[in-house]
Structure 1
């Protein structure tokens, strides 16, 4: 397994739509494994292939809480096939938008259909943080960042700060760093 570089906004590759995988083969499984290792090292709870510069419809998730753990979830070609009428608001963060958070409203529950790591089609009903995370990561596959779901003013402020931080890092000769996990926020 290998750690992959995580792209940060406003990198234009994050705005591109990903292509479906034909099947979960050895190459796709290696990508999933590398993404999981990268996500854990960042640290985060979800990662989409476009965030590491790969325009394939692949996401990985792992949500651990005191009361429950999903274990790693590997999803190829995930698609939401059902959403609840009720909404939920969650303070989201993103490894591609480091150190910035905003409340985002999404459906409270979703059902997702996907190919698992063994190329078996599955469906999973999700609620709570898992539902938010699945929707957040699927958005990445369509070139959508969580900041695209907030006000234009707040989005513009965040993007300006990210560009400024990137320029400062480049002047210092450092690579941009990933977001650090904060206890009250989940970095998706």
Structure 2
């Protein structure tokens, strides 16, 4: 059970967009109006994320093409990180690379080992337009990179190659939400979000399942 103040109590759960929805493969637009509509969107995003038992959610996952994401995510030491970012920019992704388990609320039931940097820093704004900077390591760094990918039209499967990608595709084709035409096309439409080069470690103690 999550402890402490939980946002989203006044929000409404919105339908989740699944792989095959064009909006998931389209880069989102910058937010220019930091008013009541943005605050309402963020509340709805929290409500939707919690209802889906996720640790993060990007606006385009509920059909809103704006650069916003929310998160309620532990790190590898089980410290809770709760917040939102508007117009986020991934300014640092470095350290070792770990192929930890990762999933996505827009590809429900699917999970595969996905390489991510162990440290990430994201800069952006809060709902009232105040500048903010969020940094994370381990699992939380994975979450931050995952959500930034979403806002650029990327999916975690874009980082998966070789046997892992083939196995994930076979599993996806068996999923009840899979549509041979649209989902297959979206799967193959890699957003070219390369993880870059670095030291790839086989695993990380305490790594947990990511779904965002």
> TM-score, normalized by length of structure 1?
0.83
Question: What is the rounded CA distance, in whole Å, between the counterparts of 1:103 and 1:27 in structure 2?
Answer: 37
| Aligned counterpart, 2:80 | 69
CA RMSD between the two structures? 2.0
Higher fraction of helix = 1
> How many residue pairs are counted as aligned between the two chains?
170
Measured in 2, the distance between the counterparts of 1:125 and 1:15 equals 26
Question: Where does residue 88 of structure 2 map in the other structure?
Answer: 78
Separation (CA, whole Å) in 2 of partners of 1:136 and 1:16: 15
1:96 aligns to what? 106
Cα deviation, residue 166, structure 1:
2.9
Are residues 1:112 and 2:140 paired? no
TM-score (norm 2): 0.74
Are the equivalent residues in 2 in contact too, given 1:24–1:118 (CA < 8 A)? Answer: yes
Structure 1 residue ranges (4+ consecutive) displaced by more than 4 angstroms after TM superposition: none
Segment of structure 1 superposing worse, 36-45 or 57-66: 57-66
| Pair 1:46-2:88 in alignment | no
SS of aligned partner of 2:30: coil
Deviation at 1:125, TM superposition (A): 1.7
Structure 2 gap segments, 5+ residues each: 1-10, 180-207
Partner of 2:166: 153
- Kept in 2, the 8 Å contact 1:3–1:37? The answer is yes
Which whole-Å deviations, capped at 9, do the CAs of 1:53-85 have from their partners, x for residues lacking one? 1110000000147842113x1101111112224
Q: Secondary structure at the match of 2:13?
A: coil
Cα distance in 2 for residues equivalent to 1:100 and 1:63: 19
Equivalence for 2:177: 166
